[in-house]
Amino acid sequence: MRRHRKVKIVATLGPASSSKEMIRALHQAGADVFRLNMSHGTHEDVAERHRIIREIEAESNQPIGILADLQGPKLRVGVFGGDGAFDLQEGATFRLDLDPTPGDASRVQLPHREIFAALERGSSLLVNDGKIRLHVVDCGPDFADCTVTVGGTISNRKGVNVPDVVLPLAALSEKDRRDLEFVCELGVDWLALSFVQRAADVEEARALARGRAAVLSKIEKPAAVKAFDEILAASDGIMVARGDLGVELPVQAVPPIQKQLIRKCRRAAKPVIVATQMLESMIESPVPTRAEVSDVAHAIYEGADAIMLSAESASGRYPVEAVRTMDDVAREIESDPTYIQIIEASRMVDRRTVADGIVAAAREIAEATDVKAIACFSESGTTALLVARERPRVPIIALTSIEGTARRLSLTWGVDCVVSDPVDRFKMAVLAAIHAAVGQGYAETSDRIVVTAGVPFNTPGSTNILRVAPCQERLIFEGEPE
């Protein structure tokens, strides 16, 4: 099933998209990667959705990526007396403490000693996705006295954000550790790590994963933005999680941050997903707003590897239509001549290695001639990532004998993955590449493709050879004895 677009689509599964028929429909509509949200459902639910995805993968003969999104620590206030809700007026005083007594309009429990340990006078606390804002005027190891700067209704177990301090909390809760081990044993391809504040959070998850899944860091806190370079270096991929960023930062700061993070990921040859509220209105409506379409379009123009649906596909009324809309928008944008100009103008690559030079040459040859595709052999996936970083105009075909590599690359811009037999000679690599290009409709027998590989084979990072191969060589090779 060839996709006629470069950007990938990630669809979250949930109550509205848990049956095999619906998951198959989402894949056929354009979903390249499925997200399993570990904040909801049981391990049995997750295992069943994983099983269905792998069945559909086998039926379609196309690698499908699976991303498990870990919940992360959840910071919430306690419960209130009465009917469980009180109105906080602007200018009023309000205390947060460790006392489990039900709260009222003057105080409530905040059962997180770590927050009190990190707070300072002048810190801000945001409750219920920032709808209520508190200014800390005094604090200690077990309390914070605040002034209400933005009032509203506060109720049981609403979430709390602390935007301007680095909290002494690990990104992985005990639940996350159990979930991580479960999904790694199950066989997911990507782990999305929530509540990342520093590179050490990523290293901890990587150590626990032990290579069984790639680690993707969600950038959703100001501390993560400040430490982004170190977090990017420690991560296999990035998710720009704009929901919490828009709560903890001024909303007008999010678009430039999104653009900056995408460009840094592109330069590092690591996939980046833009997520949260991309087609939010399609939870209830069969058509998106014009503003939402523009939002999706901007992420594509910026060169993001993937765009993601959350509640739209997990619990919305129109999951298939949401995926199809993203697919339609992507095709339209990528056919715009301005898109090519923007992508090429924003290509900033610091080339230092032989592999960097090989993939740059492959792109330039493909764009200067009538070459139909770039085929690369990549057991680890590194070569395919480097080719994708170049953002070539022609399709990228990644051939690998490792099924897990093909599945992970399903998140990467422009890469179509083919699981092939292992090869140990470049001639056979060329033959396999031609088979894939012609077999999947990228080229005719009379066309040519560019083939890149590393010799000796099966050595990660050894890309050192490039050839422009006529597809008619398949006939010659097939007639030769081994």
Active-site pick, 12, 276, 382, 400: 276
Nearest to 390 by CA among 354, 355, 347: 347
H or E stretch covering 383 = helix 382-389
Are residues 252 and 285 in contact, defined by beta-carbon separation less than 8 angstroms? no
Tell me the C-alpha distance between 150 and 304, whole Å.
35
Tell me the C-alpha distance between 202 and 428, whole Å.
39
| 149 given a catalytic annotation | no
Q: Among positive and negative, which fits the CA dihedral 287, 15, 238, 270?
A: negative
Tell me the C-alpha distance between 379 and 398, whole Å.
9
Are residues 237 and 411 in contact, defined by beta-carbon separation less than 8 angstroms? yes
Alpha carbon separation from 303 to 197, 226, 426 (Å, rounded): 25, 22, 32
Active-site pick, 35, 49, 107, 270: 35
Tokens of 10: 């990630």
Tokens of 451: 């083939």
Tell me the C-alpha distance between 471 and 444, whole Å.
7
Alpha carbon separation from 441 to 6, 371, 372, 400, 438 (Å, rounded): 16, 14, 10, 19, 5
| 218 given a catalytic annotation | yes
Strand-pairing partners, residue 96, are 108, 144
Active-site pick, 54, 76, 264, 331: 76
Buried residues in 352-362 as b, exposed as e (16+ CB within 10 A): eeebbebbbeb
H or E stretch covering 85 = strand 85-88
SS3 string, 223-292, reads: HHHHCHHHHHHHCCEEEEEHHHHHHHCCHHHHHHHHHHHHHHHHHHCCCEEEECCCCHHHHCCCCCCHHH
With H, G, I as helix, E, B as strand and everything else as coil, classify residue 7: coil
Are residues 133 and 124 in contact, defined by beta-carbon separation less than 8 angstroms? yes
Q: Among positive and negative, which fits the CA dihedral 380, 385, 387, 393?
A: positive
451 Rama sector, left if φ>0, alpha if ψ -120 to 50, beta otherwise: beta
Active-site pick, 6, 8, 206, 218: 218
| 391 given a catalytic annotation | no
Tokens of 99: 């006392």
| 289 given a catalytic annotation | no
Tokens of 222: 């100001």
Alpha carbon separation from 191 to 116, 146, 204, 265, 293 (Å, rounded): 30, 37, 12, 17, 28
Tell me the C-alpha distance between 387 and 402, whole Å.
18
Catalytic residues: 35, 76, 218, 276
